[in-house]
Amino acid sequence: MTPNLIRQAAVVLSNLLTFSSPADAKLSEFFRNNRELGTKERAFVAESVYGVLRRLRFLSTVTANEEDDPDDARKLILAYLLRVQGMSIRELEPMLNEQQKEWAHMIKAKSTENLPPAVQADVRDWLWDKLVAQYGEMEALTIGRSMHEQATLDLRVNTIKGNRDEVLAKFIAENTSGETNITKTPYSPIGIRMPNRMNIGRHVLFTEGKIEVQDEGSQLLAYLVAPKRGMMVADFCAGAGGKSLAIGALMRNTGRLYAFDVSEKRLHNLGQRLKRSGLSNMHAQVISSETDPKLKRLNGKFDRVLVDAPCSGLGTLRRNPDLKWRQMPEDIAELNVKQANILARAAKLTKTGGRLIYATCSLLNDENEKIAEQFLATHPDFRLLNAAEILAQQQIELDTGNYLKLLPHLHHTDGFFAAVFEKTQGANVAGIDKAGVETSEAAAPVEVEVVEPAVTVELEEVKPKAKKPRTVKAKAAEPEVDKPKIEKTKTVKPKVEKVKVAKPKAIKPKAAK
């Protein structure tokens, strides 16, 4: 640690405190512009900045002379080192100027007795009120404090290329620190937990596609989808595809897996991960929105539809602490409308006897139970399945009731919610009659935009022919994170018509969020 390093951390923090864009994006930009910083220097800056964001309300209190004092990034960094990291003024004095030494003594002497609960939990008042209403004050405070800790590094073993025991043995053999901190995840049968952060991106197991970085809770969502070999599955809000890759591995590279998203950039990133994974049953497709006309031809065709809906992300505050300062009540209200609309549209893709899985990484019932209850009230042709029973059928002993509800202080994962709905009645959607049998319209070709690892391909509609249809598959991928057998249900394999593949167009990545 040097005076200049403390100054640089304060510069980064000052930029982040505007909360105008995601903290990780701004931090990455800073490191790109300061390539002279070594690994240890980068670690100090990142840990200090994220440490302040996790404890911002508490640290603002101990640095303020008056109640409405604006936050000063230099004071906040000092307060983090003194009041959270436990450093002494004597340790810091050689790196401080006279003014900073005065601040340090003031910060160290500030009383923190009788702080309001919302300050102790380090959340805004509106979020504190919602947590208390939902969980009670004691558990709300426990949840808030659990978010002060840095998240563990969870890895998912790609079972297409390796198994957990082999990967675990290799990591333990490489662990020269002597610490026994590399373990199997307690619930996911394909997860490995590494409490200490490490740069996994250049590890041979990562570059060979044998592991992906994925929180254990996210891995469990893939098992909740419970796909079988040969099924037709959709990940309706795929993002960068962590869950899509996990689902594809559980399908053992059979059937057809569609990864939909509105972001061409995110699907391009998925393409890079797909190359490493060894999967060839995935078809990544850009859609304009949940109402994209291209989706109509897919109504009633999917055995499984996963909706990992856009949400507040308040279950991921250990990783993304800036979200609790960026999100506001009106943002939640806007998300609720979007969540309900996406879920309703995804329901049309589900075939009779198929399952629709709704998930968020939020702690709020506004985004979770209320959306699920609203959906059931307006869709009588769906029924709620018991999440614990679905997991138990796959030898995963985790019972949180009808819904999957994961909390950091209980399960040591990010906060997750999921509900599983089964379509019990045939709906009059294009191509499916009430018995779930394909009609002549269902035989029409699927017109979609397919995004492969590095190109965009448009599938043109052609007239069906009498000869046996030929399935268009994604180009076999060369070798990054995010379910076993359940009771069989009879499914109807959708017909896929012969299509003409247009000349690939190169994907131009869009600007990051």
265: helix, strand or coil: helix
Alpha-carbon torsion angle 198, 202, 208, 213, nearest 10: 40
User: In angstroms, what CA-CA distances link 90 with 37, 48, 63, 77?
Assistant: 26, 19, 19, 16
Could you give the CA distance from residue 11 to residue 49 in angstroms, rounded to a whole number?
10
243: helix, strand or coil: helix
**Strands (DSSP E) along 345-502, which ranges?**
350-360, 382-385, 404-406, 416-423, 449-451, 455-460, 500-501
Whose tokens are 């595809």? That residue is 241
Instruction: Name 406's Cβ contacts closer than 8 Å, sequence gap at least 6.
Output: 217, 220, 315, 400, 413, 414, 415, 416, 417
Could you give the CA distance from residue 376 to residue 358 in angstroms, rounded to a whole number?
12
Q: Are strands 211-213 and 153-157 parallel, antiparallel or unpaired?
A: antiparallel
Could you give the CA distance from residue 64 to residue 71 in angstroms, rounded to a whole number?
8
- 8-state DSSP, 107: H
Q: Backbone phi, then psi, for 361, in 5-degree steps?
A: -110, 50
237 is catalytic: no
- 8-state DSSP, 477: P
Which residue among the candidates 13, 119, 155, 361 is catalytic per the annotation? 361
- Residues acting as catalytic residues: 361
